[in-house]
Chain A
Amino acid sequence: MGSIKEMDDRFKKFGTVSFTSTTKINDFIDYLENGQVMGTRCKVCGLVFFPPRADCYQCLASNMEWFEVAGRGQLVTYSKLEFAPVGFQEDVPYCIALVDYGDYKVFGRIAGDVPEGDIQIGMEVKTVVNRVANEQFNYVFQKA
């Protein structure tokens, strides 16, 4: 009685700057800290989601299981930013990209150590966890 429930704000650790702190899929952050990038699959109808979500729009259930974004995907497209929004200027230049895993796609950054000349649409990549400044985490794409 009367105890103050602690706010679960783990999601504030996602990305260089996070604009979200409270979400029902906060376990995503725990998985990231353990080196895994995870999506969710609806236990009722089997629909697969990345980014992960708590609720299924197909069958309206809120009964998800986690799966790992593993193996290789293909680079769909990318862009190298020479300017950045507020909070990201220290990161410039960097490449944002989209990767296709067949059942789902992943939006993120290309790893900073991939030379721009090596980047090709259609190239095979893997998604790996990346630690950024101030104990924050995101994920990046590396050549597979």
Chain B
Amino acid sequence: MGKVAIIGVGQSAFVRSYPGSIRELAFEGFREAIQDAQITTREIDASIICSAPEYDKQRSPAGVFAEYLGLNPQPTFYVESLCSSSSMGLRQAYALIKSGLHKIVAVIGFQKMSEISSSESQERMGRGADIQWESPFGTMMPAYYAMYARAHMQKYGTTPEDLARIRVKAATYGQINDRAVYRKPVGLEMFVDPENRMSGPVASPLRVGDCCANADGSSCLIVANEEMAKALSPKPVWILGLGAASASVNLAGRDLFTGLTVARQASRQAYQMAGVGPPDIDVAEVHDCFTIAEMMAYEDLGFAEPGGGKELIRSQATYREGSIPVNVDGGLLSKGHPIGATGGSQIRTIVLQLREEADAMQVPSPEIGLVHNIGGVGLYGNVSILGRA
């Protein structure tokens, strides 16, 4: 069994409200990935469509996309794990290729969140939690992550200012990412100015500035076996390690509230499979749907000890020039978070980094990159480690 590579990446711009249908949205990421891979659509053996279905008016979008993208009569199917759907799609593509069933697989992530109101979408995302036992209390994603933030602050002395620092870093790079939905600068002072929108309370201790925005977007990864990758691609990026885990939906079934067990377990698996450790990672994309999520990711991935995440951001170690650059494309906080497209976008960033094609966001000569993509509030976790060789 040979290796598996990513030979093409694409994503649409992430926007507040996409002026087209979901098939047209998917086409944007798909076309860029096909052109990037310099292949034709006919060479795709199978496609995996990834999204969170609560936003889809279209039932079974895989069939619609396969038709629109010219992928009939090859097999196509749908994968869902909330916000980590397209990382889970990459895992499926890896298995299909490693098994020998297929040679080239397209992983297409998308979400068009703008068709429903923000509070309605919060309610629908909230229903990604336990609808029988939690949702009747009026839960939302920010409130769950806020409960982790509260526990983290209590145990480790992490401050609201530390969380704001993560948003400031995100905005530093969001300004130079033309695919990001939020491109304005953000300063720490905004979080203590009651007149500034960033400081507005959402779910204590999280404020508006701690939360990413909904967005519409699509992403696409072209995944190939070793033989095809070497024949077709001048710069294949290899999948070195994959990890995935799940946890209790209901917070009542969990024991850890200062980190995500799924991230710890998935990263351990991925490091082991890749034969590397946290110090070997040259650039990382982590799932910063909320600032606290990035803080916990530093610790869950082993970039810092538990409780040590705040020192990383205070010392700017996770900036592009630092020892472990994290989310130097602006992260979800700047790019926006079109659920099903997010993982593919994170993976695209790392692929471009490893190919040294990340332009203004490029870190110096990275060899190994990591993607941390979480579904729900630590319900699903995927960690993917990619390398140049």
Given contacts A77-B257, A109-B137, contact A82 B203 (CB under 8 A): yes
Contact of B252 among A14, A80, A107 (CB under 8 A): A107
Residues of B within 8 A of A78 (CB): 147, 150
Is B201 within 8 A of A82, CB to CB?
yes
- A125–B123 Cα distance when bound, in Å, is 28
Residue A76 interfacial (CB < 8 Å)? yes
Given contacts A85-B122, A86-B123, contact A77 B203 (CB under 8 A): no
Is A83 within 8 A of B202, CB to CB?
yes
Per-residue contact bits, chain A 83-116, to B (CB 8 Å; 1 contact, 0 not):
1111111010010111000001111110000000
Residue of B nearest to A23 (CB): B132
Residues of A within 8 A of B120 (CB): 85-86
- A84–B119 Cα distance when bound, in Å, is 7
Residues of B within 8 A of A87 (CB): 123, 138
Residue B204 interfacial (CB < 8 Å)? yes
User: Which parts of A39-91 form the interface with B (CB within 8 Å)?
Assistant: 50-51, 76-89, 91
Residues of A within 8 A of B149 (CB): 79
Residue A144 interfacial (CB < 8 Å)? no
Residues of B within 8 A of A138 (CB): 136-137
Given contacts A76-B257, A87-B123, A121-B151, contact A19 B137 (CB under 8 A): no
Which are the 4 A-B pairs with shortest beta-carbon distances? A15-B136, A85-B123, A88-B138, A79-B146
The contact sample of 8 A-B pairs, CB cut-off 8 A, is: A23-B132, A79-B144, A80-B204, A81-B143, A82-B200, A82-B204, A84-B138, A96-B138
Extra inter-chain contacts (13) besides given A19-B135, A83-B203, CB under 8 Å: A11-B132, A50-B252, A51-B132, A78-B150, A79-B146, A79-B206, A82-B203, A83-B140, A85-B120, A105-B252, A107-B137, A107-B251, A121-B150
